[in-house]
Amino acid sequence: MADFSRTHALPGEPTSPWLASTSEETREADVTRLEGTDSADVAVVGGGIVGLSTAIELRERGRSVVVLERDRVATGVTGKSTAKLTSQHGAIYDHLRREFGRQAASRYAAVQEEAIDRVEDRIDDLGIDAAFERVPSYLYGDEPDAIERETDAARVAGLEASYVTSVPPFERAQAAMRFEDQAWFHPRKYLLAVADELHADDEATIYEGTRVTDVDPGEPARVRTEEGIVRAADIVVATGFPIRDRAGYFARVHPKRSYVLGLRIDGRPPEGMYYRTGDSYRSVRTHRDEDGVLLLVGGEDHKTGQGGSTIERYRRLLHWARERFPVEDVAYRWSTQDYVSADKVPLVGRAEPRTESVYVATGFRGWGMTNGVAAGRLLADLLTGDRPPEADLFDPLRFTPKASLGKTVTENADAASQFVTDWARTLLSPDLEHVDRGEGLVVREGSHPVAVARDEDGEVHAVSAVCSHMGCLVEWNDAEASWDCPCHGSRFSPDGEVLEGPANEDLDARHPDRPGEST
């Protein structure tokens, strides 16, 4: 792999503790890839917390299942979360009460609480060592009136919430809301055990290292991969962004990236989970591993492909942590991506108006652990003929102009502006000689915008700068050494390989010496 040493200028191993402690590099031979054809009642695209929760819920209802995962199970967004199992999703309940009504807020709260209980029950039933622990969760900030409204809305929604004015170790916080009996866990250990349970079931199959290229809602429906096809009565698209979009999801959800540091500290760690509201949020929790205690500090979110240097975001996060905790060492650093729906409620259910066989789950707004488990149960209910009360709230085809119109207009105007600005900028872009070692730039070769990255050995990696999803121009992510699309969140390696969707086609390779020409 090419070395882009600017990405190594930051301290810490560039992975999460969930992935580092469950490394499967020596188990490559155990990967089962789809070759040829297979069939099941339901095909699930995506092996994260949504996909595997859906699969095991369907098996408990007697449906056969095939799961298809591009990488290894729980190595995507699920393996890069802060793994909080909580109903406290930032300042959400006052919003839900105002925009959707009290009943909707109560239903949202109930499914989140049920999701925590469901994880705990499954851990007990399967005997999983997943570091599950019940702890309090705090939402804090500098606007007491807003925190009071949120506390009241949460109580009315049926949650055990209390308003507090002391939030150790964040003495500067003016107000906070405390939720009792929330939880944290090790998401990958949990999902690997769920996967083992599915592997042991004759009516369930998991294919890893299997890249889905298309979804066809015919009769039967088909999931197409690079090596074969799965036929099914129904398909669940459990990816960050739907790989099939016939209902305008690109206009109703937007991608965001955020950053996490795993820190060793000298002293007693905080005992709960903490979330600071505001434009620049902060998330704090602890995790006990074989080397002691890690403090996980997250934040610095921004729209994917926008917002400048991502290396600087890690540095700002570390500076913030050092001002508040006796940091000894940075053990881990990683980033993650999620999608935010325009009205702040996830999109879970039937994907398209005129298609009965394709279902979707997206738009978790960074709260995918409980929402992912809840989505798995809701999808299983819908696929087996039930329609619980919360189905309308999460319905992807809902019409909520009051709650979403302003955000939809703003985000689509931003995507359109980014599209035009980036294309215009290519007319003034530097040439290949301006690309330093460890850097990436979009340069112009004739009429072609080309994404050029130069590694530390001086080798040039050149690919088309035009995202294969909808034609926006990619931007260089200096912390992850990737090309990120600022419109809809697709990400690519320096050599053009898709890292994250919605794109499912690689960027075209260019001649390093003649980047305007395809190879």
Task: Give the pLDDT confidence score for residue 25 in this predicted structure.
Answer: 45
Query: Looking at beta carbons, which pairs linking 196-201 to residues 24 or more positions away fall under 8 Å?
Result: 197/56, 197/126, 198/52, 198/55, 198/56, 198/59, 198/65, 198/67, 201/59
Place of tokens 């000298």: 266
Task: Give the pLDDT confidence score for residue 279 in this predicted structure.
Answer: 73
DSSP conformation class of 364: B
Distances (CA, A) of 194 to 47, 125, 278: 11, 11, 36
| Prior bond of 353 cis (ω within 30°) | no
Residue 390, C-beta contacts closer than 8 angstroms, at least 6 positions apart: 107, 108, 110, 111, 378
For residue 4, pLDDT beyond 50: yes
| 3-class DSSP state of 46 | coil
Task: Give the pLDDT confidence score for residue 430 in this predicted structure.
Answer: 56
* HSE of 199, CA atoms in CB hemisphere, 13 A: 13
Distances (CA, A) of 430 to 61, 197, 435, 442, 485: 59, 54, 8, 8, 20
- The CATH number of 400-519 is 2.102.10.10
CA distance 181 to 43: 35
Distances (CA, A) of 59 to 18, 62, 507: 26, 5, 38
pLDDT in tens, 113-127: 999 999 999 999 999
Smallest CA-to-CA distance from 468 within 495, 491, 439, 441 is with 491
Helices 102-126, 187-199: crossing angle, 10 deg rounding: 70
Phi, psi of 181, deg, nearest 5: 60, 40
pLDDT in tens, 231-285: 999 999 999 888 777 777 777 889 999 999 999 999 889 989 999 987 778 999 9
Least confident of 149-153, 190-194, 442-446: 442-446
Phi, psi of 266, deg, nearest 5: -100, 100
Output the CA torsion sign for 410, 412, 413, 414: positive
pLDDT in tens, 406-437: 555 554 555 555 545 554 455 545 555 678 88
Distances (CA, A) of 85 to 37, 67, 114, 273, 285: 37, 24, 11, 10, 11
For residue 3, pLDDT beyond 90: no
Task: Give the pLDDT confidence score for residue 242 in this predicted structure.
Answer: 84
Tokens of 321: 């942590």
Report the pLDDT averaged over residues 148-157: 98
For residue 194, pLDDT beyond 60: yes
CA distance 292 to 273: 18
Task: Give the pLDDT confidence score for residue 510 in this predicted structure.
Answer: 80
